[in-house]
Structure 1
Amino acid sequence: MKHRLPLLFALLKFVSGLLLAGYGTYELHRDEYLYLDYGRHLAWGYIEVPPLTALQSWVSLALGGGFFWVKAWPLLWGSLTIYIVVRLAQRLGGGPWAQALAGVCYLTTAYGRVNLLFQPNAFEVFSFTLGMYLLVRHAQPDGQPRHLYWLGLVLGLGILNKYTTFFFGAAVLAGLLLTTPRLFARRPIWLAGGLALLVAAPTLGWQLRHGLPFRHHMALLHDTQLVYVTVASFWSAQLLLCFAALLVWVPGLWAALRGQPAPAVRVAGLVFVVGLLILTILHGKSYYSLGYYPALFAIGAVWWQTRLASRLGLRIALLALPLALWVPIVRDIFPILPPAAMARLSQRPLHRKLGLNRWEDGQVHPLPQDFADMLGWHELADKTWLAYQALPDSTRARTLIKCDDYGQAGALNYYNRNRAIPAATSFNGSYLYWFPALPARPWRNLLLVGEGHPEELVPYFQEFRKVGEMTTPYARERGVTIYLGINPSPALLARAYGERRTELAAWEGNLKY
């Protein structure tokens, strides 16, 4: 009986997420293609993220790699997260109304988008929420050392998923030091910390063996994105991310810091404050904070339960408010409308005022950037396949397919996964590690996808011509070309492999190159 409502919300989350995922209307997102290619190159680390995503990719590909098997992972982590949120409300003494309020808060906030895409973010939110739950459980009167051991395991898995877990871990240590400093004189907390490091050791070792590419990743991220994140923009985004639940999580934070509805929740409030303070100081992206909120939904819901015990009308209103705020914007935040209809919807003044169609380039486009990143990939893969098929049988096997970025390479490999064609590669991201070695018999053909300056390459080939172009309306990559170069010169190949060595040296701190 006690698990019925949490399980009901978990099921609702999975089914509703699948219905809002855009199947049949949109394709996978560019990032998802990269992460799926991890499954073909299992390792303890990658340039972008640690290896846990790769294991999920391997399973999805083993099951056929269809749309459902890709989306099942973020939906699974989202379903488990909402289960924990509702269960935490229950553990704190919340009745069915408080549990439902906590669950509705999760359903109607930014987590709908987080649990839509196959990225490390969905598991990150899940692991942080589970970590908060275990902290509260350990602080309750019936708390046991096993809750700390489970916390250590969760933190270790979190590091295997995304290195931002170190920030969460620092916030956890601060929260425990401020609430139960004597805990650090006992063995369980050190065993839990050791377990976290033991679980994370393989990917930490991979980083060391490869010259800590994480440093270069953070430097690039800082110079190109984080440097533009201001304190004002970060905190204004915090209000928007969970706006529908503002009346729940804000009182939840206040209550937690005061030890209400139970002293055990104080640690959750402190972890939230310290965690967001760390992100503010480091100019973290606004969505890095999403894992800190779900526990506050549960705490705030139980706090409201005690204050609205005899006010049925206010209870109904508070439960309905997040839904009332969420329903009108469902079409704006989920890929359920066809691109042309979405483009028309985006002409509304409110849509423009919110800047939903402003991309990384600072310009306003017909579709939100994420939606435009879900279009045209199948067309690009099909046209590359046709260009490859048109090559003579005698030279087809000696063809290199090089793309300008990871989205193009990943999409080609995904949609051509059941075709006899060489894997597409790139100098972008982890494809640097997967780039094929220079063969003993030179490449006869180069298929170049997304080449930015094709006119400069004409002298390096016996023949060089355009063989395809993406034409899908509203696609972010619309206009990307496919060029075929026949009999590339040794000078061009030497230059290309030299560029790869230079890129690897930048990532690995000249460790090998």
Structure 2
Amino acid sequence: MKPSRQLPLLLFLLKAVSSYLLASRAYELHRDEYLYLNYGQHLAWGYLEVPPLTALQSWVTLALGGGWFWVKFWPILWGSLTVYVVARAVQRLGGGAWAVLAAGLCYLVSAYARLNFLFQPNSFEVFAFTLACYLLICYQQEARPRYLYMLGVGLGLALLNKYSALFFIAALGVGLLLTPARRVLATRAFWLSAALGLGLWLPNLLWQLRHGIPFRHHMQLLHDTQLVNVSGADFWQDQLVTCLPALWLWVPGLLALLLSQALRPYRVVGLIYCGGLLILTVLHGKSYYALGYYPILFAAGAVWWERQLSRRPRAGRVLRPLLLLLPLAVSVPVYPLLFTLNPPARMLEVGQRYRSMGVLRWEDGQDHPLPQDYADMLGWQEMADKTWHAYQALPAATRAQTLILTANYGQAGAINYFNRHRAMPAAHSFNGSYLFWFPDSTARSWQHILIVDDEPDENLNARFQQVHRAGEVQNPYAREKGTLITVGSGPDEAILQQINQEHRQALAQWGKFGGL
């Protein structure tokens, strides 16, 4: 093994092992993770929320049993690969062991510690963007077509992962046009690379076109319900906070890429950051949308610092160890926000210390006792178990004619995940991609409707022969606290028609749909 490859591999292993060790099992999976895991039972070329790459990971996870280890395997894998690529980028830019450690440590203790813990498309996006920038650096040094082909494949997979990859590609295009790197546009390899990326994305693109481009409606809903609460000032304040332990690294890294003579060949990478962040600012993007643009700046910043310190040997002997300790010192106070170290009761107290940083602000723009991510990782198994017991209490002869209807995708996904090994019908919802998986109610004779809702209808009694409350989520820390599990037996025709109508109306909002 080449000595130069050992340190990046050690960082890879450190990231993988520490991610598992620093995760408290006092928390369950996140609301979004249950939705993405449900994708694995409905493989398709597209979903209303994201493209299909996450579904493939979900399918593998469920095939391996669906346990906590395998759910977390994917984000931890992509995070570990990202820190490896960052370390290799440092070496490509001429950095030594100190620079590799500086960039790697900054990645390990910044917001990626939290991001790479959740089974969501975001971890792969950060990896894909970092890899793309690394490949651009490689091509600028060697001009080998293979780097462009790898770039095309990487960006194609990024498009199969999240549509926000289009913003990165737009920023890349602008960066190429504004720098001498534009000469790559005249090469055959570049256009073959573009064809590779488009070819990978094409099945999902066709799915979008066939289904009326639901991505547009998804973005509109996201804007109206969440992004409208994000201001440009808040977005940029969060940019300073999320990567605070690496602020001393990424700011010089960006400036060096844009202005220094030594890194001039790689200016396109700095412009990608500028273009991508400008797009996200204009579109009121959430702060974490920008996380994919920073890791490569860590690499550039580490190389810049190492060169500055090498010119001042005496100061360097003092500053080198101090600068390596700096990200650790800065991140220790916010470790409770990076890792699920504290159980919920303790987090109530800890969270108040960071109120001014906005960590208690939820998507509704209001502050709450726990950070939203933490509250979204509680109460799900309680809900699923109580739903199972409510189902088991139904008469055996009519139990199979039960519709389980939930108010949102988190409830449906959690019920399906925790009951995946039990003989029980799947839970459904009018929320998100569950619209595609809803059973044909006209072909079924429902004897019971099991309703899971955080805002239950008070008029249910008139719609059933018998209604009773079977359970309630009581976890005081859960975002779903108070969610009721109601069993209605003997539904009348009006409620059945209402269910069918609500399903059709929800589908109609997304455009013209064909079958999956």
TM-score of the pair, normalised by structure 1: 0.96
Kept in 1, the 8 Å contact 2:226–2:363? The answer is: no
* Deviation at residue 181 of structure 1 after TM alignment: 2.5
**Pairwise CA distance, 1:228:** 2.9
1:261–1:299: 8 Å Cα contact kept in structure 2? no
Displacement after TM superposition at 1:329 (Å): 1.5
Where does 1:169-248 land on structure 2 (aligned, <5 Å)?
169-179=169-179, 180-248=181-249
Local SS of the residue matching 1:462: strand
Distance 1:461 1:451 in 2: 20
Query: Could you list the per-position Cα deviations for residues 266-317 of structure 1 after superposition, in whole angstroms to 9, with x for gaps in the alignment?
Result: 1111111111112122222221111111001001101111110111111111
The answer on whether the counterparts of 1:260 and 1:303 sit within 8 Å (CA) in structure 2 is no
CA distance in 1, matches of 2:457, 2:264: 66
Name the CA distance, whole Å, in 2 between partners of 1:355 and 1:228.
13
Give the secondary-structure state (helix, strand or coil) at the position aligned to 2:367: coil
Q: Distance in 2 between matches of 1:281 and 1:138?
A: 31
The answer as to whether partners of 1:260 and 1:266 remain within 8 angstroms in 2 is no
The offset of 1:421, in angstroms, is 0.3
Partner of 2:266: 265
CA shift in 2, pair 1:152/1:510, >3 Å: closer
Query: Aligned residue for 1:5?
Result: 7
Mapped partners of 1:332, 1:155: distance in 2: 31
Structure 1: 5+ residue stretches without partners: none
Structure-1 separation of matches of 2:108 and 2:232 = 27
Query: 1:259, CA displacement in angstroms?
Result: 4.6
Task: Select 1:16's aligned residue among 11, 15, 18.
Answer: 18
Is the Cα–Cα contact under 8 Å of residues 213 and 507 in structure 1 kept in the other structure? Answer: yes
How much has 1:455 moved relative to structure 2?
1.9
Q: Which position in structure 2 is the counterpart of 1:66?
A: 67
Cα distance in 2 for partners of 1:323, 1:402 equals 47
How many Å apart are 1:510 and its aligned residue?
7.3
> Can you list the C-alpha shifts for 1:206-241, whole angstroms capped at 9, x where unaligned?
101111100100111122222332221221111111
Q: Does 1:361 align with 2:360?
A: no
How far off its partner does 1:333 sit? 3.1
Structure 2: distance between partners of 1:368 and 1:83: 30
For 1:409 and 1:274, the matched residues in 2 are separated by 38
1:442 is aligned to 2:445: yes
| RMSD value, Cα | 1.4
- Distance in 2, Cα, partners of 1:401 & 1:475: 21
* Stretch deviating more after TM superposition (78-87 or 355-364): 355-364
Mapped to 1, the partners of 2:495 and 2:506 lie a distance apart of: 17
CA contact 2:378–2:475 (8 Å) conserved in 1: yes
Report the count of equivalent residues.
Answer: 508
Aligned to 1:332: 337
| 1:410 counterpart (395, 410, 413) | 413
- Aligned counterparts of 2:27 and 2:495: Cα–Cα separation in 1: 38
- Which of residues 307, 316, 327 is equivalent to 2:321? 316
Aligned pair in 2 of structure 1 residues 202, 259: CA closer, same or farther (>3 Å)?
A: farther
AA partner of residue 404 (structure 2): I
Structure 1 position 479 matched with structure 2 position 502: no
Q: Does residue 393 of the first structure (1) align with residue 396 of the second (2)?
A: yes
Q: Distance in 1 between matches of 2:454 and 2:296?
A: 47
Q: Which amino acid letter does the alignment assign opposite residue 183 of structure 2? A: R
Measure the CA separation in 1 of the matches of 2:466 and 2:54: 41
Unaligned runs of 5+ in 2: none
Structure 2: which amino acid aligns with 1:371? Answer: Y
Label 1:73 to 1:206 Cα distance change in 2 as closer, same or farther (>3 A). same
Matched, 1:155 2:160: no
- 2:460 is the alignment partner of 1:462: no
Is 1:488 aligned with 2:497?
no
Shift of 1:485: 0.4
Where does residue 144 of structure 2 map in the other structure? 144
Shift of 1:341: 1.4
The answer to whether the Cα contact below 8 Å between 1:381 and 1:415 also exists between their aligned partners in 2 is yes
Alpha-carbon distance, 1:458 to partner? 1.3
Equivalent AA in structure 2 for residue 320 of structure 1: L
CA pair 474-260 structure 1, distance change in 2 beyond 3 A: farther
Residues in 2 aligned to 1:67 and 1:378: alpha-carbon distance in whole angstroms: 13
CA contact (8 A) 2:407 2:429 kept: yes
Checking the alignment, whether the CA contact within 8 Å between 2:211 and 2:513 is kept in structure 1 is no
Distance change in 2, residues 1:209/1:279 (3 Å): same
Give the structure 2 partner of residue 345 of structure 1: 350
- 1:80 — aligned with what? 81
Q: Distance in 2 between matches of 1:360 and 1:168?
A: 24
**Counterpart AA for 2:284:** H
Instruction: State the match for 2:166 in structure 1.
Output: 166
User: What amino acid is aligned across from residue 95 of structure 1 in structure 2?
Assistant: G
Q: Secondary structure at the match of 1:122?
A: helix
**CA distance in 2 between partners of 1:37 and 1:102 (Å):** 36
